[in-house]
Amino acid sequence: MSKINHIRNIAIIAHVDHGKTTLVDEMLHQSGTFRENEQVDERAMDTNDLEKERGITILAKNTALMVGDHKINILDTPGHADFGGEVERIMTLVDGVILVVDAYEGCMPQTRFVLKKAFEQNLTPIVVVNKIDKPQARPEEVVDEVLDLFIELGAEEHQIDFPVVYASGIQGKASLEPELPNDTIDPLFDVIINEIPAPDHEIEEPLQFQIALLDYNDYLGRIGIGRIFRGNVSVGDRVSLIKKDGSIKSFRISKLFGFKGLQRVEVEHASAGDLVAVAGLDDINVGETVCPEGEEDALPLLRIDEPTLQMTFLVNNSPFAGQEGDHVTSRKIEARLDEQLETDVSLRVEETESPDRWIVSGRGELHLSILIENLRREGFELQVSKPEVIRKEIDGVISEPFESVQIDVPDEHTGAVMEGLGARKGEMIDMIHQENGQVRMHFIVPSRGLVGYRNEFLSQTRGYGMINHTFDCYKPEIKEPIGGRRQGALIAMETGQVTPYSLQQLEDRGTMFVETGTKVYEGMVVGEHTRDNDLSVNVTKEKHVTNIRSATKDQTVTIKKPRILTLEEALQFLDDDEYCEITPESIRLRKEILNTTERERASKRKKLNKS
């Protein structure tokens, strides 16, 4: 085997918001990848609108830059565990990883998650302690934490002796010392070139190219992105695609793309060690191998993370259906879900007996809510049910997913958090008191216990707590109910417009979700009740007008500000008998049975059946 010395393939991994995308920006700028007069957005690798708004990376992306004679291919990975399927596949494309760790926060749950994936592939690590310019930065302690984590995850000896670079991504500086005397990011480039091994591949052998990521283009169809492990490939070559089931399909490579900066560049030829994208076969899937015709030799299939959460997607049938969206029919929704399956390999869509509903399964609440938010921005109207965990039968035992949860809170809130997670069958594994009055707690909690917990957690910690969780394992199912909403709902019993008079009358009944002038319909959830039962209320009631003047002068009506739910908050609030109606303009909660009388009858029947 020969070393391809001019190429370095690396993945950049980190917990959410530890600054890896900003760091990649600086690497692109300082390597001269962009022209001097080129306009480039901040966090240029986050191209999706939702990524820019939320400040998180959702889709794995690759870029390439030249440092002297060396080509560095960088894959920017998602930091959130819901997109772990992307991270796992990327690890097969690279020879090393840059682990970015916040100089104050240190190691977090997703740091552990992505690092474990890197060690499984025996990759060479570089540790970048980022945000070194923070006033409360504690770089030496953070490096010790990283070392402890490496040992805990069973790193090899050569991995434990990792190089450390101290950086400020936002200032574009890096150094081998914590003091940051340097004005450029060059020390990081030097460490990458010197420490990350060059690809070790046979250029003269027959082609072996494996698909790790998918893209889709209206003109080219499916595009497979991956690494050439052996040999060469050119546009026009006839090749074989070895499918997951072992069957073989023949196709011609119609387009071949390399990467330069943020651009996908058409190339005529590529060799072992290169990361490329190929077009020409619609039926291409993640993990499949491309070889020359007659010389088929498959690489091991890539493992794709299974979904752990599912929701029912339905055609919108509320009284306001079709008023705000452009795409409302089952045909349009089904076609859009099928399109999503072209690129999102961790998603599953199952048809049901009804043509107007589908069971959609994903990696977690964030994974599914991102899909729903994209749909509403594209003009779709639909309804979704409460998220439910997916149970599996393992060795004859029904099992459910459990999550590893890390919580950072001020000392005075630990009791409330322990009580809250205890009620959701959480088991505390560890508790560390830190110098600054903060406490770090580690729990193992059933995934369904975390559905809807975030709002309760923010109340318990008065907004000062931080919660991070990642999938841990499947364990035998806990038979009793866990979590769920503690408060009942306030439900509109009339169709019409919300009036200030009615809101004033209902203030002591709970927290309202609607404001004056909002259009509501019978069966729509308009607030959260102070008690644990549902209550039907009239929010369209007008003040009775008489010609008798009041003895006291009319006062200006002051009404509490309503709590307008975001999409995530609405999905977390949902109960078993409720839907979330989603349109480009509105997010509404509603009962499955809208008619007040019918709903109350159904509730009584349910109680009788239980008893």
Is 561 labelled as part of a ligand binding site? no
CATH 3.40.50.300 applies to domain 202-292:
no
Greatest Cα-to-Cα distance within the chain, rounded to the nearest angstrom: 99
Query: 73-82, 433-442, 515-524 — which one is most confidently predicted on average?
Result: 515-524
Structure tokens at 470: 């990642």
**What is the assigned CATH class of domain 489-544+557-580+587-610?**
mainly beta
CATH 3.30.70.870 applies to domain 309-389:
yes
Answer whether residue 52 shows pLDDT above 60: no
For residue 469, the cross-strand partners are: 405
Is 215 labelled as part of a ligand binding site? no
Which tops the pLDDT comparison, 197 or 82?
Answer: 197
Mean pLDDT for the stretch of residues 351-355 = 90
Answer whether residue 61 shows pLDDT above 70: no
What integer pLDDT is reported at residue 4 of this predicted model? 67
pLDDT tier at 550 (50, 70, 90 boundaries)?
low
What integer pLDDT is reported at residue 275 of this predicted model? 85
Residue extents of the structural domains in the chain: 2-200, 202-292, 309-389, 392-476, 489-544+557-580+587-610
> What mean pLDDT value characterizes the chain?
81
What integer pLDDT is reported at residue 580 of this predicted model? 93
> Which residue, chain included where needed, has tokens 């959460």?
309
Is 124 labelled as part of a ligand binding site? no
Tens digits of residue pLDDT in 317-334? 999 988 988 998 999 999
Cα dist. 206→6, 240, 361 in Å? 21, 12, 39
Note the Cα 528 to chain centre separation in Å.
Answer: 28
- By the 10 Å C-beta count (0-12 exposed, 13-18 middle, 19+ buried), 186 is classed as middle
Is 414 labelled as part of a ligand binding site? no
Mean pLDDT for the stretch of residues 163-180 = 81
Share of the chain above pLDDT 70, in %: 86
pLDDT tier at 40 (50, 70, 90 boundaries)?
very low
Answer whether residue 58 shows pLDDT above 60: no
Tens digits of residue pLDDT in 573-591? 888 889 999 999 999 999 9
Least confident piece of the model among 157-171, 474-488, 505-519, 550-564: 550-564
Is 131 labelled as part of a ligand binding site? yes
Is there a shared CATH topology between the 2-200 domain and the 202-292 domain?
no
Least confident piece of the model among 52-61, 108-117, 228-237: 52-61
The secondary structure of residue 81, as a DSSP letter, is G
State the Cα–Cα distance between residues 434 and 188, nearest whole angstrom: 31
State the Cα–Cα distance between residues 374 and 377, nearest whole angstrom: 5
What superfamily does domain 2-200 belong to in CATH?
P-loop containing nucleotide triphosphate hydrolases (3.40.50.300)
Is 132 labelled as part of a ligand binding site? yes
Is 130 labelled as part of a ligand binding site? yes
Angle (nearest 5°) at CA 367 between 364 and 372: 120
pLDDT tier at 17 (50, 70, 90 boundaries)?
low
Which tops the pLDDT comparison, 362 or 549?
Answer: 362
Indicate the Cα dihedral angle 319, 325, 326, 327, nearest 10°. -70
Query: Helix or strand or coil: residue 50?
Result: helix
Q: DSSP alpha helices (H): ranges in 552-595?
A: 567-573
Tens digits of residue pLDDT in 410-458? 888 888 888 888 888 888 988 888 777 788 888 998 988 887 777 778 7
Fold assignment, 392-476: Alpha-Beta Plaits (3.30.70)
What integer pLDDT is reported at residue 170 of this predicted model? 78
Is 519 labelled as part of a ligand binding site? no
Is 597 labelled as part of a ligand binding site? no
Is 133 labelled as part of a ligand binding site? yes
Cα dist. 456→147, 369, 450, 467 in Å? 34, 19, 10, 12
